[in-house]
């Protein structure tokens, strides 16, 4: 496909916010297996625009291994962990304080 030199380029990358994987779950108990199957026929790249659990701390990150391995990695091109900065409900990985942005 030829695109004129100054033509705008548009991208469509669907993302899914998903907070169902809590603690030591698996594809079935977290519903990620069903979600992955539902997205498998989308003909463009997709990703987990937010993933994580806000119900059962502490967060043990078991969902990362599933996200980066088949069958999930066959459908989703990675993801963004929820929540990087602390939220009002106490979730977050990094907090900044002071004038120098120390963690």
Chain segment 48-76, per-residue pLDDT in tens: 998 887 676 677 888 999 999 999 999 99
Look up the domain containing 26 and give its range: 15-81
Look up the pTM and report it: 0.72
Residue that wins the pLDDT comparison between 64 and 102: 64
A 10 A CB-CB count for 46 gives 20
Cα distances from 45 to residues 42, 79, 84, in angstroms, run: 8, 12, 23
Structural domains in the chain (count): 1
Pick from 20-24, 87-91, 93-97 the range whose average pLDDT is largest.
20-24
pLDDT band at 9 (very low <50, low <70, confident <90, very high): confident
Is residue 86 domain-resident?
Answer: no
Burial 52-72 (b: 16+ CB within 10 A, else e): bbeeeeebeeebeebbeeeeb
Is residue 89 domain-resident?
Answer: no
pLDDT of residue 101 exceeding 60, the answer is no
Nearest Cα to Cα of residue 36 among 67, 65, 60, 82: 67
| Alpha carbon of residue 101 to chain centroid | 26
């Amino acid at each position: 496909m030829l695109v004129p030199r100054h033509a705008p380029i548009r991208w469509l990358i669907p993302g899914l916010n998903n907070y169902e994987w809590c603690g030591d779950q698996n594809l079935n108990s977290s519903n990620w297996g069903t979600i992955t199957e539902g997205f498998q026929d989308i003909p463009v790249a997709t990703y987990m625009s937010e993933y994580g659990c806000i119900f059962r701390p502490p967060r043990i990150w078991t969902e990362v291994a599933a996200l980066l391995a088949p069958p999930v990695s066959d459908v989703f091109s990675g993801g963004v962990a929820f929540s990087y900065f602390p939220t009002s409900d106490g979730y977050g990985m990094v907090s900044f304080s002071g004038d120098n942005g120390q963690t």
